[in-house]
Amino acid sequence: MAIFLFFIAHWYLSLFFQTFFLHRYASHRMFDMSPLMEKVFYVLTFICQGSSYLSPYAYGIMHRLHHEHADTEHDPHSPSHDGHVFKMMWKTYQIYTGIFSGAIPVDEKYKASLPNWAAFDRMACSVGVRIAWVMAYIAFYYYFSPSIWLFLLIPFHAMMGPLHGAIVNWCSHKYGYINFKSKDTSTNLMKLDLLMMGEGLHNNHHKFPSRPNFGVKRDEFDPSFIFIYLLDKIGVIRLKKKKDFQRLEFSS
């Protein structure tokens, strides 16, 4: 039971901070927050993503490149060009680390208004810290796992961030349905996106990249937006476009 709860908690907490902080805040600036709150969310993202913590700065640049070049040869990750999912993940890793280290030059326009706490990212992304997290996961399983076979779940904990990225970047450009025809292959994976906290409503997101609610039709549900709405209501963040709360009415 402890292992089950730990896995579910890690899945959803890591996913929430990826979509809330790395994607919707850092990459798209769908809302504002104070410099102090930004640091708080850096730390919370680090705790929840653990060994697979991703730098909001490098993630933001890579994600902006994805929107700009979706499904072309310049896209950092695309099922249309990358053969199979592991090839795509490896290419994504190389581009991400190239951006993070500065080895890949990036046009200034992709860096605009990105959060950049470089000293924290250096610590959180260091090999020693990543190994320490994995050791902590192993220790938890050592004390709480009723079966050695459950240790097979540890690689999923270790790779939680990239795992979520791969699911969205591969499946949401390949499977599902579309609301909006576009030049890219983005799709919506499911209407009630409880599994990916709204990230699976990807065709909607490509159509409206600055809209904080990824659910567009009446029967589409983006769980992360509920939290974003509440965080705005209690003053932790400030949503920019209040009118974006509303669902768009259109005929498909």
**Binding-site ranges for Zn ion (CB under 5 A):** 186
By beta-carbon proximity to Zn ion, the closer residue of 30 and 160 is: 30
Nearer to Zn ion, 18 or 186 (CB): 186
Q: How far is the CB of 43 from Zn ion (least distance, A)?
A: 23
Least Å distance between CB 203 and Zn ion?
9
Cβ proximity to Zn ion, 23 vs 157, nearer residue: 23
- Please state, in angstroms and rounded to a whole number, the distance separating the CA atoms of residues 79 and 64: 17
Instruction: Count other C-beta atoms under 10 Å from residue 101's C-beta.
Output: 10
Token pair 């504002």 is found at: 32
The minimum distance between CB 131 and Zn ion, in angstroms, equals 30
With CB atoms as reference, the residue minimizing the distance to Zn ion is 186
Q: How far apart are the first and last CA of the chain?
A: 43
- Cβ 71 to Zn ion, closest distance in Å? 8
Instruction: Return the closest-CA partner of residue 20 out of 54, 52, 50.
Output: 54
Reference 7, options 176, 145, 123, 178; nearest CA is: 145
CB neighbour class for 141 (10 Å; exposed up to 12, middle 13-18, buried from 19): buried
- Name which of 14 and 92 has its Cβ closer to Zn ion: 92
